[in-house]
Amino acid sequence: NQTTVTIPSQPYDFACDLNKTALVIIDMQNDFCANGGFGEMLGNDITNTKSIIPTIKQVLDQFRAHNLTVVHTREGHEPDLSDCPESKLKRSKRQGAGIGDSGSMGRILIKGEKGHAIVEELTPEPGEIVIDKPGKGAFYQTNLLEELNARGIESLIVTGVTTHVCVHSTVREANDRGFDCLVLEDGTAAFDEDDQQAAIRMFHQQGAIFGWVSHSAKLLEQLK
């Protein structure tokens, strides 16, 4: 039962079998997308990261309607910070509010706290894969590769935040593991528009060096 679709993309059309494709939603957590979260406490403007929630929801709804594979990731650490490298912790503290410190949504980037939770609109449903990751890339110290291999997944449609940090790290890791990645430009965001533009260009330059870039409408056209 093969359902191959072709999605107009940069630098050229992206083709995939939807039954071997997963929607990956990276770190759409309150800490990065909600007022009062870590992102905002660090002085970032969360307008852009918050604005992509409805776009991702539209794509998620279609993946759910077609019973396709969905992966959600969350960046975060154990309450005792045993899975947080000292180097990451030290650098986070230099910004004012650090990992594990208390904020208006509980302890920053700590599992179980409100800030760590995925924004309400995109709450995972039973049967969807939820990956808790201590790093920026979703493959590092997680079972994501095993989960994808178990389902025969070969291609990833990637969304989430932030484009230049966790989305980039994850797409680069996925490339080295043999996955084809399509990034949705309007389904990803960085706090800063220059970072967004640069990150998007880096995916598809040099003949899709890390993958393809398209827009949600072009994907949704194929999921009707």
75 part of the interface to ligand TIU, by CB under 6 A: yes
**SS3 state at 77:** strand
| Contact mark string toward ligand TIU, 107..146, x via CB under 6 A | ----------------------------------------
Kindly give the residue spans of alpha helices, DSSP state H, lying in the chain.
30-33, 38-41, 47-51, 53-65, 86-93, 144-150, 168-176, 193-208, 216-220
With binding defined as CB under 6 A, does residue 162 bind ligand TIU? yes
Q: Smallest distance from the beta carbon of 165 to ligand TIU, in angstroms?
A: 3
Does the footprint of ligand TIU cover residue 71 (CB under 6 A)? no
Beta carbon of residue 67, minimum distance to ligand TIU (angstroms, whole number)? 27
* Complex with ligand TIU: residue 7 or 25, whichever CB lies closer: 25
Cβ distance to ligand TIU smaller for residue 20 or 88: 88
Residue 161 engages ligand TIU in binding (rule: CB under 6 A)? yes
Q: Tokens 């990833």 correspond to what residue? A: 156
CA distances from 172 to 117, 164, 181 (A): 25, 11, 9
Is the Cβ of residue 98 or residue 211 nearer to ligand TIU in the bound state?
A: 98
Tally Cβ neighbours within 10 Å of residue 131.
18
By the 8 A CB rule, do 136 and 166 touch? yes
Structure tokens at 165: 């940090």
Residues at the interface with ligand TIU (CB under 6 A): 27, 32, 75, 161-162, 165-166
Residues labelled catalytic: 27, 133, 166
